Amino acid sequence: MTCQSPRIAIPEPNSTQADYNQRSWPQYAKAVEACGGTAVRVLLSESPASVARLVASCSGVLLPGSPADLNPQKYGQEAAPECAPADASREAVDELLLQDAFNLRKPLLCICYGTQSLNVWKGGSLVQHLNTAINHKAGREVTEAHGVAVAPNSQRLAHFPHSITVNSSHHQAIAVPGDGLRVIATAPDGTTEAVEQPGEQYVLGVQWHPERTFDVNAVSQAIFREFVTAAAEWKPREVRESVAG
């Protein structure tokens, strides 16, 4: 056990919409810090070397939402008319943070766009525009948009209720899960709402926005609390096999 506050790397959501960043980034930081972590802002304008140095000082990574959509060419598709412009700066920073998290087995929490970013980085694909009876783009003012069924065999969510109600603010979602990711929660229309990578490393991606309901929702609080706890318990792996012969 450690009393040190774990540093959590959180990139700015978007490189072109400062008002969105000013409104949304503090919500992630507040949730992390309420659970005992220290939120570390990663500027999208920083050089790759600076981002690498910054994330090296952190023991967890949180990939937030964004108004952008990922470049669909990364998963072998041309952009649909409904696809929002890509954010190359955010994508580049996400790739650096994902590389660090997986190389060093750091806890990783991905939210909305962040979950889609994880999935594409892992070789998966996305639904470019959802068109179902469920309103997945209810917006930030709607705290309970639709139900989600949680898989009972989930490593990260199994102790949560098997049916929860979530907010919703997205028009894209996972189509084919990336390498090593498994679907652990779905909406009634079959839309993937959460994924995890089973194993020792904490890896969870949710399509909804728990940071927006953190003050009033026990599931949202548990997601952040367990992620920050995993970051507090994380230890570097390097020294495990230092003795030879």
CATH number of residue 228's parent domain? 3.40.50.880
Say which residue the tokens 């962040």 belong to. Answer: 114
Q: Is 60 exceeded by the pLDDT of residue 24?
A: yes
Domain presence at residue 58: yes
Q: Is residue 149 part of a domain?
A: yes
> What φ, ψ does residue 170 adopt, rounded to 5°?
-150, 155
Q: Is residue 1 part of a domain?
A: no
For the segment 32-43, what is each residue's pLDDT rounded down to a tens digit? 999 999 999 999
Domain of residue 192: give its range: 7-236
209 in catalytic set: yes
pLDDT (0 to 100) of residue 205: 98
Report the first-to-last Cα separation within the chain, whole angstroms: 32
Residue 216 has pLDDT above 90, yes or no: yes
pLDDT tens per residue, range 180-209: 999 999 999 999 999 999 999 999 999 999
Res. 244: pLDDT tops 50? no
Flag whether pLDDT at 4 surpasses 50.
yes
User: How much is the pLDDT for 202?
Assistant: 98
To the nearest whole percent, how much of the chain has pLDDT over 90? 93
Instruction: Tell me how many domains the chain contains.
Output: 1
pLDDT confidence tier of residue 238, bands split at 50, 70 and 90: low
What share of the chain has pLDDT > 70, as a percent? 96
pLDDT above 70 (res 103): yes
Contact 132, 191 (CB under 8 A): yes
Catalytic residue, from 12, 91, 211, 226: name it: 211
In the set 136, 146, 170, 209, the catalytic residue is: 209
Contact present, 183 and 149 (Cβ < 8 Å): no
* Mean of pLDDT values over 100-111: 98
- What pLDDT is attached to residue 3? 56
pLDDT in tens, 44-64: 999 999 999 999 999 999 999
In a domain, 2, yes or no: no
On whether residue 21 sits in a domain, the answer given is yes
CA-based R_g, the chain, Å: 17
- Domain membership of residue 243 (yes or no) is no
Angle at 241 between CA 94 and CA 53, to 5 degrees: 30
pTM of the shown model: 0.95
Answer yes or no: 112 catalytic: yes
Q: Is residue 241 part of a domain?
A: no
Whole-number average pLDDT of the chain:
95
Average pLDDT over residues 108-127: 98
Annotated catalytic residue: which of 12, 112, 146, 196? 112
Residue 244 resides in a domain: no
